[in-house]
Amino acid sequence: MAGFELIRRFFGNEPGERRAAPRSGVPKGAWVLVVDDSATIRAVLGKMLSQDGHVVLKAPDGETAIEMARKEKPDLIFLDIVMPGMNGFAVLRALRREPQTHDIPIVMISGNLQATEQFYVQRFGADDFMKKPFGRGEVFARIQHLTQSGRLVVRERTAEDVVPTVPEHTEAEHAAIPDIAMPDPHDMVVPPAEPS
């Protein structure tokens, strides 16, 4: 049974079936910033969020994330921990120090579930932690938890709030993205072959 559930989670149900029931307690129209150096994670998480009615902003690195958070003031940030250059903990500290980004709820994400990471996530003020790979249910459970605790409040946007329109994928590529976040094969390190 566990094998079937894993396969079903990986491939998902029929497209109309998995979103047939509305999610209770989850706000619509939140501006969500997804920060990850993996294009796969940005695409998968972006697809999940946009299909549920959220506006998705994407940043491939920590420096871009801080700049976008200051400018766009998202309602929620999903932030990878392990990134080249400025890592997620440094981004989290920077965002918590600035008055205009201090109160944005932040969910840290990582494929490396260690007690030290969870300790630092809490110590530096993240709101939640999510382990890769993740499915739709886990993503929306995090959003629902933040909403019910009062941390995630979707702010009213004005006509001046224009979403940056830089499509990362074509419509066909977007449709082909699975509903589970798997590691990006380009990010995987292959150990060198041992000499014979």
* Cα 35 from chain centre: 7
Q: How far is Cα 196 from Cα 185, in angstroms, rounded to an integer?
A: 27
Q: What's 119's domain CATH number?
A: 3.40.50.2300
Based on the number of CB atoms within 10 Å of its own CB, is 11 exposed (0-12), middle (13-18) or buried (19 or more)?
Answer: exposed
List, for residues 50-109, the tens digit of each pLDDT value: 999 999 999 999 999 999 999 999 999 999 999 999 999 999 999 999 999 999 999 999
List, for residues 13-26, the tens digit of each pLDDT value: 444 334 433 445 56
Q: Is 68 a member of any domain? A: yes
Q: Is 189 a member of any domain? A: no
Give the domain range for residue 68. Answer: 39-153
Q: Is 47 a member of any domain? A: yes
Q: Is 138 a member of any domain? A: yes
Q: Is 16 a member of any domain? A: no
Number of domains composing the chain: 1
